[in-house]
């Protein structure tokens, strides 16, 4: 997957130099070393190109980064997070460049990983929603065909350290800070002559459907200023049901802000795009995709005011992918992903144990 943890690492990497190339592996390479990918390589190429700190991508980059690869692309050094990346046989993929001093490390974004997000989709609970208490979650556990002891163990792990789990794969849950939002946001206000475009929705599991839509919206004006209104978790759950949204509002905020087509995000935007909102942000255009517009709780059209003003546009990006499609991929390959997660954590725990033994032997 491509999530805001990756975006934050790329932001840190760009700050270490002048020009950022991002090497992306093929589906075959990922399947060999990690298990089945969630997004296809074409989707991942598109997603990473849309991240605001990326200058260029390298398609089909080798899984093991060598000096030959760095030299081929005139790279002074490579950057990775402070978690470990292993080959299928348990070797460090950056061993060679580390020995030659051409490796840099950035901070991994705590609380998010592909493994953890896949876990949320497989659990089919609402435990990942913000502002929902665990006693409320437990009362609904029997509706989800989840063993209570396993479920309680999952709840007990929330917000705790990596005891008994790999610090990279283990479950983690916390709220993002304003500092992280400030780091990822552009901080630019609209200027005179900008066309202010407003879109709203859940933008859950940020994917290529979202990217293509936002790019199409961005191209509507010569000087676009795109504002994305994000609904709170409870609102999204009202109109989508099940365990949606998979990502809570804080995570969705960071995901959207990292997109180069987005200027600003309204966190907890109202479902109805009303007069006050349009006037406050001086909105010139309001856009929605080709998916069905669901009415408000009272049956009214949430875009009624913008339609009256003649500023509403339906945008066909040509990409029909929706969040449900991504979740369905996980469900269809459930056993493969469960095995993937177990193997990944086992390899990481083996490395941690080896590091612990080395430290004890050095004392």
Are 4-106 and 185-323 equal in CATH topology? yes
Rounded CA-CA distance 134/136 in Å is: 5
For 185-323, which CATH class? alpha beta
C-alpha dist (Å) from residue 114 to 3, 97, 102, 118, 199? 8, 25, 27, 6, 27
pLDDT by position in tens, the chain (length 363): 888 889 999 999 999 999 999 999 999 998 888 778 889 999 999 999 999 999 999 999 999 999 999 999 999 999 998 877 777 777 889 999 999 999 999 987 766 677 777 777 777 666 666 544 433 333 333 233 333 333 333 333 333 333 444 454 444 444 456 777 778 887 789 999 999 999 999 999 999 999 999 999 999 999 999 999 999 999 999 999 988 999 989 889 999 999 999 999 999 999 999 999 999 999 999 999 999 999 999 999 999 999 999 999 999 999 999 999 998 888 887 777 777 667 767 777 777 777 778 888 877
Domain ranges within the chain, ordered by starting residue = 4-106, 114-175+333-362, 185-323
Q: Residues with Cβ < 8 Å from 240, sequence gap 6 or more?
A: 202
Alpha carbons 305 and 134: distance in angstroms, whole number: 39
Return d(Cα 46, Cα 48) in angstroms, integer: 6
In Å, how far are 181, 196, 227, 300 from 280, measured between CA atoms? Answer: 22, 11, 12, 22
| Residue where the block lists tokens 């994000």 | 230
CA 269 to the chain's CA centroid:
20
Domain 4-106 fold = Rossmann fold (3.40.50)
Reading the block at residue 64, the tokens are 């093991």
- The rounded distance, in Å, linking the Cα atoms of 21 and 267 is 31
């Amino acid at each position: 997957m491509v999530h805001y943890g990756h975006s934050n690492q790329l932001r840190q990497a760009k700050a270490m130099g002048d020009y950022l190339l991002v090497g992306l592996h093929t589906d075959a390479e990922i399947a060999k070393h990690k298990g089945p990918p969630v997004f296809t390589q074409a989707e991942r190429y598109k997603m990473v190109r849309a991240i605001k700190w990326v200058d260029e991508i390298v398609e089909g980059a080798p899984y093991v980064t060598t000096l030959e690869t760095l030299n081929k692309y005139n790279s002074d050094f490579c950057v990775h997070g402070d978690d470990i990346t292993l080959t299928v046989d348990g070797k460090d993929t950056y061993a060679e460049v580390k020995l030659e001093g051409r490796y840099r490390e950035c901070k991994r974004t705590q609380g998010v990983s592909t493994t953890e997000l896949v876990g949320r989709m497989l659990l089919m609970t609402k435990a990942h929603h913000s502002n929902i208490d665990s006693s409320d979650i437990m009362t609904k556990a029997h509706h989800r065909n989840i063993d209570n002891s396993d479920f309680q163990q999952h709840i007990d792990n929330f917000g705790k350290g990596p005891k008994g789990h790999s610090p990279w794969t283990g479950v983690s849950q916390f709220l993002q800070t304003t500092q992280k939002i400030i780091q990822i946001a552009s901080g630019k206000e609209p200027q005179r002559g900008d066309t202010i475009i407003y879109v709203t929705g859940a933008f859950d599991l940020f994917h290529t459907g979202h990217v293509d839509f936002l790019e199409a919206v961005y191209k509507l004006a010569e000087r676009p200023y795109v504002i994305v209104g994000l609904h709170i978790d409870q609102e999204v759950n009202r109109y989508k049901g099940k365990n949606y949204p998979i990502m809570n509002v804080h995570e969705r905020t960071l995901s959207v802000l990292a997109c180069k087509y987005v200027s600003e995000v309204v966190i907890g935007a109202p479902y109805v795009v009303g007069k006050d909102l349009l006037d406050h942000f001086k909105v010139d255009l309001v856009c929605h995709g080709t998916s069905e517009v669901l009415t408000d709780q009272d049956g009214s059209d949430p875009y009624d005011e913008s339609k009256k003003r003649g500023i509403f546009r339906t945008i066909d990006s040509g990409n029909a992918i929706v969040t449900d499609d991504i979740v369905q991929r996980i469900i269809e390959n459930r056993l493969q992903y469960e095995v993937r997660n177990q193997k990944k954590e086992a390899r990481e725990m083996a490395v941690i144990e080896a590091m612990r033994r080395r430290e004890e032997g050095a004392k």
